[in-house]
Structure 1
């Protein structure tokens, strides 16, 4: 059983490269540029997220973009984005399943002859330590390289894989325990007097309505919890 589920990521995208044209003897210390007009004036890698469904640039309270030029021509380009990705989940072992969701970053217009993307050495992905989700625990994150082959050329891309383990305690409290209590309460009808038709009917109808309401509320909680992933 497979299901596509959307999840949102709030992240800081940091890109680094060396531009020999910006190596100047008059630059004695790192120069920070946060003016969008100045940022547009320098060369930047044209990257995008191939598997993203929606993307939003952060403007509060100012445009969240920074360009830092070092004296040796090394450039740090950082911006904050809010992205929505689709993750295909295999639910045959639900709620004891482990899911792997991916994020891809690729070159939009420049082929591998002009631009090659690579992850930073060490720890390229840093996840906020206090991040918690009601249904999942982040147990691992890995990085990989990929290539996109089109008729007009080959393009470099990077892939991040985030492994999520479902929190069984959430479903025990939200689904299993309430369902057990509802079933136990419904058995009370066997001990009622056969002439107590209104009471037996009321108990049966109340049990059905409770189960129906629980199913709809559980689905809403599941859909909302998938939108809580943040990777700053």
Structure 2
């Protein structure tokens, strides 16, 4: 008789990102516009048409206001528009923990159209290097293996909506758990062997050492951060 089990857990991860959107609005194709025009005034930004996108799997989001509202609209010749925001978001990620700490995880970030169907708005990734990571970014428990940009489609009663998905393929860093988990546990077990060299009649000492070892391992395992 054989059996299998699956240990899953929902974890959160936080990102600080620049959301860059580009599209063409022929209404802004003016003959006198020969150089890029930057709009930093929030009132002018609100007056322009912009894609209404949101993050379906985000649990919390904040717009950055330090030291000024982090928003930029650049109107290029021929009506090309660049719309850039800086956001702080918290996403949910379902993790498969049956192989912890030798596991690999895939966390996603979804961007979808909120009110415009695919007949009105179609989202697509930039052709060259659509997702850029900060080159000096480091994570204590994970190593980023690859980032896969894909597309998706959400269907509702009133129509189909375009969406984009960024898949973050991560592998857990075993070095972190060697220092934080394996090495302390090994030392605790080695210390527990001291009871074998203690005098047979030293019952209180042997009992105290055994109980202390058990409580230490128990408290260590309960403090694991997946």
How does 1:6-17 map onto structure 2 within 5 Å? 6-17=12-23
Structure 2 partner of 1:67 = 73
Q: Which residue of 2 aligns with 1:149?
A: 155
Rounded Cα–Cα distance in structure 2 between residues aligned with 1:38 and 1:157? 27
Which segment drifts farther, 13-22 or 210-219? Answer: 210-219
Q: TM-score, normalised by structure 1?
A: 0.90
Corresponding residue for residue 228 of structure 1: none
How far is the alpha carbon of 1:45 from its aligned partner? 0.2
Aligned to 2:55: 49
Q: Which moved more, 1:175-184 or 1:19-28?
A: 19-28
1:100 aligned partner:
106
- Give the length in aligned residue pairs: 220
Find the residue that maps to 2:221 and give its secondary structure.
helix
Alpha-carbon shift at residue 142 of structure 1 (Å): 0.6
Shift of 1:67: 0.4
| 163, 167, 180: which one aligns with 1:161 | 167
In 2, the alpha carbon distance for the partners of 1:159 and 1:168 equals 28
Q: Which residue does the alignment assign to 2:4?
A: none
Helix, strand or coil: the match of 2:78? Answer: coil
Aligned partners of 1:109 and 1:84: how far apart in 2? Answer: 22
Residue-by-residue CA offset, 1:150-183 (whole Å, 9 max, x unaligned): 0011111111111001111111111111111101
Q: Deviations over 1:169-199 (max 9, x none)?
A: 1111111111111011011112112333443
Mapped partners of 1:156, 1:15: distance in 2: 15
Q: Is the partner of 2:164 in helix, strand or coil? A: strand
> Does 1:214 find its partner at 2:220?
yes
Matched, 1:78 2:84: yes
Structure 1 position 76, deviation (Å): 0.3
Q: Which of 119, 124, 129 is 1:118 aligned to? A: 124
Report the Cα distance in structure 2 between the residues aligned to 1:27 and 1:199, rounded to whole angstroms: 86
2:183 corresponds, among 177, 184, 188, to 177
CA distance in 2 between counterparts of 1:202 and 1:168 reads: 33
Query: 1: distance between equivalents of 2:216 and 2:66?
Result: 43
In the superposition, the TM-score normalised over structure 2's length comes to: 0.93
Equivalent of 2:40 in 14, 34, 40: 34
Shift of 1:126: 0.4
Which gives a bigger RCO, structure 1 or 2 (Cα 8 Å, sep 6+)?
1
In terms of mean alpha carbon deviation, does 121-130 or 85-94 score higher? 85-94
